[in-house]
């Protein structure tokens, strides 16, 4: 176990007592940073406010213990550092040309989420296992499943659907990530007990997905179900895998909530084709079209940070249509707000994230990064997930998570 303070052992100016105090301080700050990160992973799928508090604790420890400075060589020299810094600073630059400074400041301050990536990268990964943080997420998601079951039994209140206390769209995506990670563990389980436990988690998260309102989660599950089934059955049982894949999709779309949400989407699209935009899907089409028009009119700079809402007024076709502050699509949000620079920024960010996961896909941390990158891409098509607290924070901490260490021990 090595710490920076030990480099001062040969310095005559430092006494043994000072050295011991410095060593204890470094040990404490390292443990505190790790466990605050563990708490953040655990709380993200459970509830927004506790996750915000845990995140604040994590960043405070990183800053006030001095680890942000002592470990600057770790977080300043990653292949993802430059795209993350560009993505972080672009909203602040966008305040220079925004037409709505109030909303601009709201969106610009959300860029602090990316400090979690730097804090995670500052950990001494020779002392910790990345999969412990992945397991913290699984534990939190399991806890949220039981909370959702209590909501179904009317023992706890719920707003729209049993989604714990996280936005239902984001929660549906987190459930798919949980299924993906559990299938990865199932494929590598050594005994029946572990396989049974992972099968239970997959079934629990699948059931929870089937009773939520999150259509983005349904789509992500369908698109990624071949990977899940492959993890369960492997290469040898092709027919069984194909039958299981079909059964899983049929079972999902047989659930009353899923059938209702899919029927609603079809109805919304039909109404939109007849000129009615005042539906969930219709409004999205309206927002997306407006974002495209904003980009066409200002391809280099866009409307600026938070400027989408006021810029949309020029494309309002009906005074009754609601005011929007973002287009419910991560890529269109970046494009409408920052033009080609915004599009380049988010594409660069996803590229380095997915490459990071692909390179270490045989470790649970690497697989989690890869799976989440794809899930977030899917979810970002129908909502601005890079602004949603749960999904944006998880994006950040997974970026900073060490992915390859589990491959070597």
Task: Tell me whether residue 295 is in a domain.
Answer: no
Determine contact, residues 57/119, Cβ cutoff 8 Å. Answer: no
Query: 47 pairs with which residues across the strands?
Result: 165
pLDDT attached to residue 73: 94
Residue 14 has pLDDT above 90, yes or no: no
Determine contact, residues 319/333, Cβ cutoff 8 Å. Answer: no
**Which is higher by pLDDT, 407 or 405?**
405
Q: Which domain holds residue 148?
A: 35-264+324-407
Task: Tell me whether residue 195 is in a domain.
Answer: yes
Please state, in angstroms and rounded to a whole number, the distance separating the CA atoms of residues 366 and 198. Answer: 18
Q: What domain count does the chain have? A: 1
Tokens encoding 39: 């708490």
pLDDT attached to residue 57: 97
pLDDT tens digit sequence for 65-110: 999 999 999 999 999 999 999 999 999 999 999 999 999 999 999 9
Provide mean pLDDT across the span 257-266: 95
- Asked which of 45-54, 147-156, 228-237, 315-324 is least confident by mean pLDDT, the reply is 315-324
Task: Tell me whether residue 303 is in a domain.
Answer: no
Residue 296 has pLDDT above 50, yes or no: yes
- Asked which of 188-192, 319-323, 324-328 is least confident by mean pLDDT, the reply is 319-323
Task: Tell me whether residue 93 is in a domain.
Answer: yes
Please state, in angstroms and rounded to a whole number, the distance separating the CA atoms of residues 60 and 66. Answer: 10
Query: In which residue are the tokens 């470094």 written?
Result: 26
Task: Tell me whether residue 317 is in a domain.
Answer: no
Task: Tell me whether residue 306 is in a domain.
Answer: no
Residue 7: pLDDT band (50, 70, 90) is very low
Residue 165: pLDDT band (50, 70, 90) is confident
pLDDT tens digit sequence for 220-254: 999 999 999 999 998 788 888 999 999 999 999 99
- Asked which of 6-20, 32-46, 130-144 is least confident by mean pLDDT, the reply is 6-20
CA atoms within 13 A on the CB side of 138: 22
Tokens encoding 27: 């040990």
Residue 19 has pLDDT above 60, yes or no: no
Task: Tell me whether residue 110 is in a domain.
Answer: yes
Task: Tell me whether residue 197 is in a domain.
Answer: yes
pLDDT attached to residue 4: 46
- The answer to whether the predicted template modeling score (pTM) of the entire model surpasses 0.75 is yes
């Amino acid at each position: 176990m090595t710490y920076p303070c030990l480099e001062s052992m040969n310095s005559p100016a430092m006494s043994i007592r000072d050295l011991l105090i410095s060593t204890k301080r470094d040990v404490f700050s390292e443990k505190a940073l790790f466990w605050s990160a563990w708490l953040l992973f655990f709380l993200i799928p459970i509830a927004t406010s506790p996750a915000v508090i845990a995140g604040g604790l994590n960043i405070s420890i990183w800053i006030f213990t001095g680890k942000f400075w002592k470990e600057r060589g770790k977080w300043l020299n990653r292949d993802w550092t430059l795209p993350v810094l560009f993505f972080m600073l672009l909203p602040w630059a966008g305040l220079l040309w925004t037409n709505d400074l109030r909303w601009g400041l709201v969106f610009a301050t959300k860029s602090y989420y990316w400090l979690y990536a730097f804090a995670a990268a500052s950990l001494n990964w020779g002392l910790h296992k990345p999969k412990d943080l992945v397991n913290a997420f699984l534990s939190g998601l399991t806890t949220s499943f039981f909370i959702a079951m209590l909501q179904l039994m009317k023992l706890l209140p719920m707003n729209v659907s049993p989604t714990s206390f996280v936005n239902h769209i984001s929660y549906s995506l987190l459930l798919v990530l949980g299924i993906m990670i559990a299938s990865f563990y199932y494929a590598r389980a050594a005994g029946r007990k572990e396989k049974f436990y992972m099968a239970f988690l997959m079934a629990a998260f699948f059931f929870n997905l089937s009773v939520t309102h999150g259509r983005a989660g349904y789509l992500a599950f369908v698109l990624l179900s071949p990977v899940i089934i492959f993890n369960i059955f492997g290469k040898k049982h092709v027919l069984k895998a194909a039958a299981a894949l079909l059964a899983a999709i049929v079972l999902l779309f047989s659930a009353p909530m899923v059938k209702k949400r899919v029927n609603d989407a079809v109805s919304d699209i039909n109404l939109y084709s007849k000129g009615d935009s005042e539906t969930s899907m219709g409004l999205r089409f309206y927002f997306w079209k407006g974002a495209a028009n904003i980009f066409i009119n200002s391809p280099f700079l866009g409307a600026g940070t938070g400027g989408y809402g006021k810029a949309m007024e020029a494309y309002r076709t009906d005074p009754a249509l609601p005011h929007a502050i973002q287009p419910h699509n991560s890529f269109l949000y970046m494009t409408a707000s920052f033009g080609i620079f915004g599009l380049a920024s988010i594409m660069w960010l996803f590229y380095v994230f997915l490459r990071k996961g692909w390179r270490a896909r045989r470790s649970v941390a690497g697989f989690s990064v890869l799976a989440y990158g794809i899930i977030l891409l899917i979810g970002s098509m129908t909502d601005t997930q890079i602004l949603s607290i749960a999904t944006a924070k998880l994006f950040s901490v997974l970026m900073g998570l060490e992915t390859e260490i589990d491959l070597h021990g």
